[in-house]
Chain A
Amino acid sequence: MREITVRVNGRLSRRTIKDNELLLDFLRDRLEVRSVKAACWRGECGLCTVKLDSHLVKSCLVLAVEADGKEVKTVEGISPEGELSPIQKAFVSHGAAQCGFCTPAWVLATHELLQEKPHPTQADLVEATSGLVCRCGTYNQIREAVAEVSGTTARPRHMKESLARA
């Protein structure tokens, strides 16, 4: 057991934890940050993605104790309370969320990508989100949402078009 102090979305939290606790469990169970989803538990689906200091990491593969003295950002922390960020608005208008389970991770990852590269290419987007899975398959709508925010025009790639290229 030990005490750790973590700044989550700007708020400082101090909790006593066990050494073998995952950052994922710490965020969900102790701090009730429920946008961080637990799904595969083995770093494959990416739905537990959070920003630890300056980089995105998968919190099911990080110990809570490693976050001691660090800053964690989740999707709750990307826009002021009660407002939506541009990428969140674009997700809504493009229907980029279907069941919604993976949406927080995708919003966070695409938000961070747009912060780093305001005009990402499709290759940038694919690379940056290659660790995330959407079982509903809203990848095209997410691509359109990112294109809208970055001001580039992404023609929706329909199946017919993809087949024609193949």
Chain B
Amino acid sequence: MSFGSPYVTLPDFTYHRPKSLDEVLALLKEHGDEAKLMGGGVGLIAFMKERLMSPTHVIDVKEVAELGQVRQVPGEGLRIGAAVSIAELLEGGDLKTEQAVLREALARVADPMIRRRATLVGNLCEAIPWVDSPPALMALDASVEVAGPEGRRSLLVSDFIRGPVDIDLGPNEMVTEVVVPESKGRRSAFEKFTGGSEFSLASVAVSVSNGGKKRAAKLVYGAVNSTPVRCPEAERLIEDGLSPTKVRRAAETASEKVECLDDVLATASYRKHLIKVITTQVLWRMM
């Protein structure tokens, strides 16, 4: 039952279902600006209904075999293809202790039916401020592999996300994989506060590496500003291990230093309060 109004109908487009990456790139070269790539379609179909996007060509990449794989590459890390759904990724069991932050973030994305369709790469490429995968990937120093007419390039997720709903990707390019580098001895965790809806009002992704001499900690906050933000001052406090005092000080520092937005969902001061709460929760859990 279509009422002919936005929100329930889709704009007119031609649907393509290429079988190989070369075909995808050829279609992108031909249609470029007027085309949108579709993984699970969860975001794209919703955006098209609201006419936030009206592509004349939709390129479904789900049947491209090389994009549907999760590979553990020794010495390099975990490579997650663009067509891998969040549910497949979680069920595959490839996200181990080292990548716990990503597993925890993805396990709480929407609901099982949405996770069956939605892809990690799609989630990342939306670059919506309250989406949970970007902070989790940034805490793991993950990067994206981009393929385009000029060949391939690789860049860090933190560079890939330029702003809210703004990514470093040309109209003829596509993200083929997300690469999560290996890091022995790394521990990580994720926490968010949603206030009852499924969208985060504040989220935190933590990773702590204390394998060998190299010690490093990362605290990345999502949904508090237009892009995920790190808090180096609080990171330094937890580099050498966790204790109740350090957790309290890190939570207070992050709450003070991280710049938060005032918007229709929450005030900046409320977000600062949430940062303190979720930082305490997540670090306490890792202690």
Bound CA span A70–B127, Å: 32
Are A56 and B41 in contact, with the CB atoms below 8 A? no
Are B8 and A46 in contact, with the CB atoms below 8 A? no
Are B116 and A57 in contact, with the CB atoms below 8 A? yes
Bound CA span A46–B12, Å: 25
Binary per-residue interface labels of chain A (44-79) against chain B in the complex, 1 for a CB within 8 Å, 0 otherwise: 001001000001111011110110000000000000
Instruction: Give 18 A-B contacts (CB < 8 Å), ordered by A residue.
Output: A2-B15, A18-B12, A20-B9, A20-B11, A20-B12, A41-B49, A43-B114, A57-B116, A57-B117, A61-B41, A61-B45, A62-B45, A62-B117, A63-B60, A131-B110, A131-B111, A131-B112, A131-B113
Q: DSSP majority for the A interface? A: mixed
Which residues 84-140 of B sit at the A interface, judged by CB distance below 8 A?
A: 87, 110-114, 116-117
Are A20 and B111 in contact, with the CB atoms below 8 A? no
Q: Which of A21, A29, A49, A65 is within 8 Å of B113, CB to CB?
A: A49
Q: Can you name the residue of chain A whose Cβ is closest to the Cβ of B111?
A: A131
Query: B51 to nearest A CB, angstroms?
Result: 12
Q: Can you name the residue of chain A whose Cβ is closest to the Cβ of B40?
A: A61
Bound CA span A56–B117, Å: 10
Query: A64 to nearest B CB, angstroms?
Result: 10
Q: Which of B2, B12, B112 is within 8 Å of A130, CB to CB?
A: B112
Are A20 and B10 in contact, with the CB atoms below 8 A? yes
Bound CA span A18–B15, Å: 9
Question: Which B residues lie at the A interface, using CB under 8 A?
Answer: 1-2, 7-15, 17, 40-42, 45-46, 49, 58, 60, 62, 87, 110-114, 116-117
Are A38 and B46 in contact, with the CB atoms below 8 A? no
Are A66 and B60 in contact, with the CB atoms below 8 A? yes
Q: Kindly list chain B residues whose C-beta atoms are within 8 Å of the C-beta of A89.
A: none
Are B112 and A20 in contact, with the CB atoms below 8 A? no
- Residue among B10, B14, B46, B113 with the most chain A CB within 10 A? B113
Binary per-residue interface labels of chain A (28-45) against chain B in the complex, 1 for a CB within 8 Å, 0 otherwise: 110000000010011100
Query: A40 to nearest B CB, angstroms?
Result: 9
Beyond A19-B13, A28-B1, A66-B60, whether A61 also contacts B112 by CB under 8 A is: no
Binary per-residue interface labels of chain A (10-29) against chain B in the complex, 1 for a CB within 8 Å, 0 otherwise: 00000000111110010011
Q: Which of B2, B42, B62 is within 8 Å of A61, CB to CB?
A: B42
Are B8 and A43 in contact, with the CB atoms below 8 A? no
Query: B61 to nearest A CB, angstroms?
Result: 12
The answer to whether A128 has its CB under 8 Å from any CB of chain B is yes
Q: Can you name the residue of chain A whose Cβ is closest to the Cβ of B48?
A: A20
Query: A24 to nearest B CB, angstroms?
Result: 9
- Residue among B11, B41, B110, B117 with the most chain A CB within 10 A? B117
Are A43 and B46 in contact, with the CB atoms below 8 A? yes
Q: Kindly list chain A residues whose C-beta atoms are within 8 Å of the C-beta of B41.
A: 61-63, 66
The answer to whether A127 has its CB under 8 Å from any CB of chain B is yes
Query: B77 to nearest A CB, angstroms?
Result: 28
Bound CA span A58–B40, Å: 11
Are B45 and A25 in contact, with the CB atoms below 8 A? no
Are B1 and A38 in contact, with the CB atoms below 8 A? yes
Q: Which of B1, B7, B10, B113 is within 8 Å of A56, CB to CB?
A: B113
